[in-house]
Homo-oligomer: A and B are copies of this chain.
Amino acid sequence: MSEPEAAGDNVNNEENNPPESKTENKNEEEQPEPPKEMKAVVLAGFGGLKSVKVMNKPQPAVGEGEILIRVKACGLNFLDVMVRQGVIDSPPKTPFILGFECAGEVEGVGEGVTDVKVGDRVAALTEYKAWAELVSVPAKYVYSLPQGMEFQNAASMLMNYVVAYILVFDIGNIRSGQSVLVHSAGGGVGQAISQLCKTVSDVTLIGTASKHKHESIKDSFAHLLDHGVDYVQEIKKLSPEGVDIVLDCLYGDDANKGYNLLKPLGRYILYGSGNIVTGETKSFFSLAKSWWQVDKINPMKLFDENRSVSGFQLRHLLYQQGAHEYVRGVVNKVFKMWENGHIKPVVDSTWAFEDVPEAMQKLHDRKNVGKIILDPNMEPKPKPKLQTKGSKDKDKEKEKDGKAVGETAAGESTDAEKENKEGDSSAPSCKC
């Protein structure tokens, strides 16, 4: 799949709906047909929270084989934080619209699309562009919702449960009586893994998570360990033989520890719905990368020890390796499990587009339990009046430019301190 179009390039002149006037300050240049606009969360440049802006952008056209979705709920993933920081491979050029998953109603279908019709309720795994009022997505990445599934449910489930399903069943090949170590147990994927593992009899779940999360996720795991303590020793006390599967999205030190905890025929699986740069690195990922370069695996060691090492990332699988039919099969299975009541997504909180920086910070600080959802129709939180006169004037200037409909005060002021902290963080972190 090609790089996503830079936000703003994709102007829909053929749209029949009347343009929505979300802002009062449009560009009044002499255009025969001013593009219809929509609100979107745009990454203005790679970096901190300040780079995330809510702006008006041209509504997308519906190309051949595409489906135009009126977005009702979006999922926030750790992958989005990594994109913001620019620590993924082949990032698009800024500015572009963020977001990899959403759910909503079909507003239009392109030529050749037969499976869905206008008004259908769908969810999509998009390559960027999901965090907008409208998104046009190739039909191969769009999935019809089962009856009764709310948009928030769909946006909570899609990426997390697809990742978890592939990890637990297709790569992990979990079987009755086995044990699983899950890092970031309190994150969206961690919770999904727990629910999926519980559909298999007699599986022992061991999770690591920050101490403050233990109370709220204690029912999801048989054993919860503080990631900050020597969890290896704790696990060896619980199960001297080790565990059958290690699901690791933390990279770095945990990889060695996890590998060494494996039972015979055990599998260590490094995953992320996010990604780690393969070229130049920034921030804490440079640490992780250098670790991996030192600790390459000798297949003879796997042979001697009867072990497996796997890597998994959904983004490459779906957009670069073309496995959309496979992923559709997984989505169907996950939706069926939801219909049968076997899984139930946990929503941590729902946020307005304008509050994305705060939501991102929460994810980064591992303060969420379950999924963080964005709602394009939600009113932003009242902003604290901390802006200086100067910054207010700057905002006015931007408004004249006809694009900015509001930049998150939280991101610019109260979060500034947090943001610095984030930039300096050397601890690997993941809630993919």
Chain A positions within 8 Å of B, measured between CB atoms, are 89, 166, 170-171, 173, 175, 255, 264-265, 267, 270-272, 275-276, 278, 289, 292-293, 295-313, 316-317, 321-323, 326
Q: Are A309 and B312 closer than 8 Å at their CB atoms?
A: no
Using A264-B317, A264-B323, A265-B326 as known contacts, say yes or no to A300 and B311 having CB atoms under 8 A apart: yes
Q: Are A313 and B321 closer than 8 Å at their CB atoms?
A: no
Residues of B within 8 A of A171 (CB): 173, 265, 308
Q: Are B306 and A312 closer than 8 Å at their CB atoms?
A: yes
> A169 — nearest CB in chain B belongs to which residue?
B173
What would 19 A/B residue contacts be, using CB atoms closer than 8 Å? A171-B265, A264-B316, A264-B321, A264-B326, A265-B326, A267-B310, A276-B300, A278-B304, A289-B300, A292-B299, A293-B300, A296-B298, A299-B309, A304-B311, A304-B313, A305-B316, A306-B312, A308-B311, A309-B309
Q: Are B305 and A311 closer than 8 Å at their CB atoms?
A: yes
Residues of B within 8 A of A308 (CB): 171, 267, 308-311
A305 to B289, CA, bound (A): 16
Contact of A317 among B300, B301, B306, B312 (CB under 8 A): B306
Q: Are B321 and A297 closer than 8 Å at their CB atoms?
A: no
Given contacts A297-B298, A305-B311, 9 further A-B contacts (CB under 8 A): A166-B265, A171-B173, A264-B326, A278-B304, A296-B298, A297-B297, A301-B311, A303-B312, A306-B317
Q: Are A303 and B276 closer than 8 Å at their CB atoms?
A: yes
Minimum distance in angstroms from A209 CB to a CB of chain B: 22
**6 shortest interchain CB distances as A-B pairs:** A303-B311, A302-B311, A296-B296, A308-B310, A173-B173, A264-B321
A323 to B326, CA, bound (A): 34
Contact of A297 among B255, B271, B309 (CB under 8 A): B309
Q: Are A303 and B264 closer than 8 Å at their CB atoms?
A: no
Minimum distance in angstroms from A200 CB to a CB of chain B: 14
Contact of A311 among B271, B295, B306, B313 (CB under 8 A): B306
Residues of B within 8 A of A326 (CB): 264-265
A311 to B276, CA, bound (A): 26
Residues of B within 8 A of A304 (CB): 89, 275, 278, 311, 313, 316
Residue with the highest number of chain B CB atoms closer than 10 Å, among A255, A275, A298 = A298
Residues of B within 8 A of A317 (CB): 264-265, 306
A276 to B316, CA, bound (A): 35
Residues of B within 8 A of A305 (CB): 311, 316
A270 to B308, CA, bound (A): 10
A305 to B276, CA, bound (A): 12
Residues of B within 8 A of A264 (CB): 316-317, 321-323, 326
Minimum distance in angstroms from A303 CB to a CB of chain B: 3
A404 to B264, CA, bound (A): 41
A351 to B316, CA, bound (A): 53
Residues of B within 8 A of A255 (CB): 299
Residues of B within 8 A of A310 (CB): 267, 302, 307-309
> A292 — nearest CB in chain B belongs to which residue?
B300
Using A270-B299, A297-B297, A311-B301 as known contacts, say yes or no to A265 and B323 having CB atoms under 8 A apart: yes
Minimum distance in angstroms from A319 CB to a CB of chain B: 11
A272 to B296, CA, bound (A): 22
Minimum distance in angstroms from A259 CB to a CB of chain B: 9
